[in-house]
Each structure stands twice: as structure tokens, then as C-alpha cells.
Amino acid sequence: MSVRYTKDHEYIRIEGDTGVVGITDYAQGQLGDVVFVELPEVGKRVGKGEQAAVVESVKAASEVYAPVSGEVVEVNSALEGAPATVNEDATGNGWFLKVKLANAGELDSLMDEAAYKAYCDSL
């Protein structure tokens, strides 16, 4: 299973031709307590780097950007009733959406885990 990261602290976990998208542990730690999540509609097409969702915490609201282009095939509607799941398990049950990859080549421009860790350490 391959996971890639963006400089905006989103992750995408590749499962076949689909990517599971959410925010990283680093991001949820910076946000603080998540109180609201706005998810896209299933069927929505997102472009790489475009806003795909919104996450609000007690501190701020932040956009969640699509790490790759594709079509939203599923959203984690459980977050609407339990947004704190993002804090508890950001890279597991706290995922936001699943995207059917339009161009798997876009993954090549994202960071692997080692590069992302080095990036976070430099912040």
C-alpha cells in the first residue's frame, strides 16, 4: 500500500485505482480540536490542488485540497456526526473522501513518507 503526501499536509493512500484522502497527523495537531467537516458530493470532479473539503477546528477553518485529479466516489459521512475522529485517527478512520484517480502519474509529484517527515521537521 502506497501513501503520498502534499506540502499542505494532505495524504492519499492508494488502493488500486482509488485514493483515500485525508489530513495528516501533523495537520490535525496544528488545527487542534476539529469541530466540523464539510465533505464534497459523491460524483464531484476535483482537480489536483483544488479544494475538495473543509475542516474547521476551534482555532481555524482550513481547506482540504485534492492531492490528485479525479472523481469523488465516496465520502466519510461518519465525520459529520463525529468530527473529532479526525483528531483521534487522522490517517485511519478520520479519512475525508475517496477519489478515483484520473491520472496516476500525478502521484509522482507527491512526497513519500520519508520526504514528508523531513519536510515537517523543517517547519
Distance, in Å, from the CA atom of 60 to the CA atom of 23, rounded to the nearest integer, reads 15
Say if 52 falls within a structural domain: yes
Give the residue numbers spanning the domain of 43: 2-102+112-118
Say if 57 falls within a structural domain: yes
Say if 30 falls within a structural domain: yes
What pTM was computed for the model? 0.96
Place of cell 500500500: 1
Cα atoms found within 13 Å of the Cα of residue 116, Cβ hemisphere only: 20
pLDDT of 1: 61
Whether the CB-CB separation of 33 and 82 falls below 8 Å is answered with no
Count of structural domains within the chain: 1
pLDDT of 81: 96
**Total residues found in the chain within this entry:** 123
Ramachandran quadrant class, 65 (left: phi over 0; alpha: psi -120 to 50; beta: rest): beta
CATH number of the domain where residue 48 is located: 2.40.50.100
Residue 17's pLDDT band, with cuts at 50, 70 and 90, is: very high
Say if 107 falls within a structural domain: no
